[in-house]
Each structure stands twice: as structure tokens, then as C-alpha cells.
Chains A and B, each alone.
Chain A
């Protein structure tokens, strides 16, 4: 099936969103969304990796022997993740200390391997790049939404800035800082998205 860039974008961001439709990349969704700043860096890392790994795998698809394609994909993805890890460590060391373990785990993020195998290894380079960016942006939008709710509720801050007169009207919900808070948020968001945002395909 031939895709257009518009279709690819819509699928990645909306119709086939990796989080609420494909339920991929859940580990990092639960782990890093208690602070918005951490989430933004994680999203940068994932978009960078999905986009460039998709592009590279697509460029090499005609030269890669089928038998070793998975090894090559993992090698390419791991290389980009290591680059992202070094860049975040250099530019934002404090954030790296918190999300460092999860940046390393981008290698095992199912979204990247899934898009590489399902899309990039069968489509043209530019379209694969679009697909990588779209999947990354789709993942990021959900994470940013969840983080935008968890951080104010859990810490009473947004991007580290204290909400006005917080102590007068707000008592922090500790559960929102912890992983169960992310479970609740993700569950509610997935229910909302699948009920109202996207129509289920009737079989």
C-alpha cells in the first residue's frame, strides 16, 4: 500500500498513535512523566532516534541482507540512542541524572523497533523519516499531556515554576508523583482517546 506524507503523519500522531492505539513505549510513559522538563528531553530523544533510525534503515534497506536485518536495525538504533545520551548528558546533566536509565532504554522501546521493521524496511527514505517523526510526535503529545497534569497535581509546579499561591489552595497529591499516578492518567487518557477521539474499526 502506497502512503502519502499526510497519511503517514495522521497515522503516527492520531489514528495509529503509538501510546493509546498500539500501546507501545509504556515503560517510559509511566516513568518520566512526573516532571514536564524530564518528559520534554525524553521526547526529544525519542523523536531524534525514531526519525534518524527510520531514515537510515530505509536508506540501507536494499543493501541489508534479510538474515541480519534485525541485528543491523538494533545496531543503528543503539548508535543513535548513545548519541542522544551523550548530547543530553552534555546539555542537561541534571535531567540526565534522572532520566539517564530511561534514555538507555530507548533502544528497547517497541515504537522504534516496530516502526523500523513495519515501515522503514519497506518504504522510501523520506516517507520513513516522516513516519519516524510522526510516531515520535504522537508519543510526545501523549506524554506531554500526562506530564502537564501530573506535575501540577503532584508537585504544585509546572516546568519547575511554582503555581501562584500554591500553599494557600493546593495540597500536593503524592500519588501523582509515583508510578501509580501515571497508570491512572494513562488509563483515563487511553479510555478517553479510544472512546471519543478515534473511531474503532468495525470487523
Chain B
């Protein structure tokens, strides 16, 4: 068969795609367990960091033990979405996984707020694909540390309860600095963080009402 014939080209491409597709799938399958373990370890480390938990050692078991000893976990369903909610046993601080669209892709993180939902205790990011050196700096300590003890201004409009960047009053207590050169990432973070806080508050309210009216089981 001539190499220039459409049938040869088609057959060649199908063969190449099949061989390399199988190769990629095999590598992925061979490393699947490691990928799942890494993902879990990363999530546990982030939760330990955001709740400031004492961890003895750096192994996956040490992080898991710290979480088991100090955190209670539950899932709350609200408007078709399930929230992963964590509660610190001694302080009753509440943490939940939030996410939203950043400048390039989805950003996911964990935020811890006080039991009365009045202020942010800490924030850490689980996953982001923002511009390295610019938007990706949201993970850096100087940025996340700004959120510690920042009050959530529930009396303000829903998109201004936490302000990232410029505020009408520069000394506003619910404001943190944006990242220079990453205005779009900072604005996107402010938008979806406020939206997530609002939805979470409603979810918690509904959950409390449900528990209040729940009839205790005789068993």
C-alpha cells in the first residue's frame, strides 16, 4: 500500500493513537494507588494546617491520627450540593471545603471560621492552577495569613463581606491585600469566597432547623 494513500494514513494514525493511548492508560493504571494516596495525604495535610493541629511526624498516618483525634466530620446536603464540613472538637471552629472559578481554572480550598460564623480563623488552598509567580501566590503564607481573625461583615452586601484588594474604606477590618499583578485571581477569589460563605451560612441554618425539629428516636 502506498504511504500517501488515505487508507494508509488513516490506518497509521489509528494504530499510533491506539498504541500510545494504551501506554498512557497503563502508566495511569499502574500509579493509580499512589495518586489516590497522595491526594488523601495532601488533603489531610491541608486540614491539619488550616486547623493548626499538632502533628507528630510527617507520615500519612500521623496526619490521619491528628485529624481523627481532633476533628469531627460530617456532610451537609443543601440545594443539591454536599458540603464537607469539619469541626474542631476543642474549639468548635468550623471548616468547610470551598471552591470556585479562578482566572484560569477551578480553585479549591479549606476555610475555617469561628463557631458563630463571625470571623475567619484560617484559610488554605487545596488545588489551584493560576499563573505561576502571580495568581499561584495565593497559596503563599503571607497571603493566607492575612485572613486570620478577619471578621466576616455579614451586614455588608453579599459580595463584600470579605474584601480582597481595594475597599472604599482602606482600613476596613474585613479587607485583605490582593496580589500585585494578579488582580483577576484576587477578584475571582473574593467573588467565589463571598458566594460560598453566603451559601454555607444558609446550609448551616437549614441544618440547624432540621436538627431542632428532628423527633428523637425511641431506640
Which B residue sits closest to A84, measured CB to CB? B27
A interface, how many residues as a size bin?
20 to 34
Which B residue sits closest to A30, measured CB to CB? B133
Q: Is A108 interfacial (CB-CB < 8 Å)?
A: no
Which A residue sits closest to B34, measured CB to CB? A90
Q: Is the beta-carbon distance between A90 and B31 smaller than 8 angstroms?
A: yes
Highest count of chain B CB atoms <10 Å: which of A66, A68, A90, A98: A90
Contact with B along A69-84 (1 / 0, CB 8 A): 0011001100100110
Residue from A65, A79, A91 within 8 A of B34 (CB atoms): A91
CB distance from A42 to the nearest CB of B (A): 12
Interface SS majority for chain B:
helix
Residue from A65, A87, A179 within 8 A of B31 (CB atoms): A87
Q: How far is the CA of A93 from the CA of B60 in the complex (A)?
A: 13
Given contacts A31-B132, A76-B20, contact A83 B13 (CB under 8 A): no
User: What residues of chain B lie closer than 8 Å to A169, measured between beta carbons?
Assistant: none
Q: Is the beta-carbon distance between A75 and B9 smaller than 8 angstroms?
A: no
Highest count of chain A CB atoms <10 Å: which of B24, B35, B41: B24
Q: Is the beta-carbon distance between B13 and A68 smaller than 8 angstroms?
A: yes
Which B residue sits closest to A31, measured CB to CB? B132
Residue from A68, A76, A90, A100 within 8 A of B35 (CB atoms): A90
Q: Is A89 interfacial (CB-CB < 8 Å)?
A: yes
Q: Is A141 interfacial (CB-CB < 8 Å)?
A: no
Given contacts A86-B27, A90-B38, A93-B42, contact A79 B133 (CB under 8 A): no
Q: Is the beta-carbon distance between A72 and B133 smaller than 8 angstroms?
A: no
Q: Is the beta-carbon distance between A86 and B42 smaller than 8 angstroms?
A: no
Contact with A along B13-50 (1 / 0, CB 8 A): 10011001101100110010011001101100000000
Contact with A along B35-73 (1 / 0, CB 8 A): 100110110000000000000000000000000000000
Number of interface residues of B (CB under 8 A): 24
Given contacts A63-B12, A68-B9, A83-B23, contact A89 B3 (CB under 8 A): no
Docked complex: A10-53 residues within 8 A CB-CB of B: 31
Q: Is the beta-carbon distance between B38 and A79 smaller than 8 angstroms?
A: no
Q: How far is the CA of A92 from the CA of B24 in the complex (A)?
A: 18
CB distance from A181 to the nearest CB of B (A): 11
Q: How far is the CA of A79 from the CA of B20 in the complex (A)?
A: 6
User: What residues of chain A lie closer than 8 Å to B35, measured between beta carbons?
Assistant: 86, 89-90
Q: How far is the CA of A87 from the CA of B20 in the complex (A)?
A: 16
Given contacts A65-B3, A90-B35, contact A178 B132 (CB under 8 A): no
List 27 interface pairs A-B (beta carbons < 8 Å), by A numbering.
A60-B16, A65-B3, A65-B4, A66-B3, A68-B9, A68-B13, A72-B13, A75-B16, A75-B20, A76-B20, A79-B23, A83-B23, A86-B24, A86-B27, A86-B28, A86-B31, A86-B35, A87-B27, A87-B31, A89-B35, A89-B38, A90-B31, A93-B41, A93-B42, A98-B132, A102-B132, A179-B133
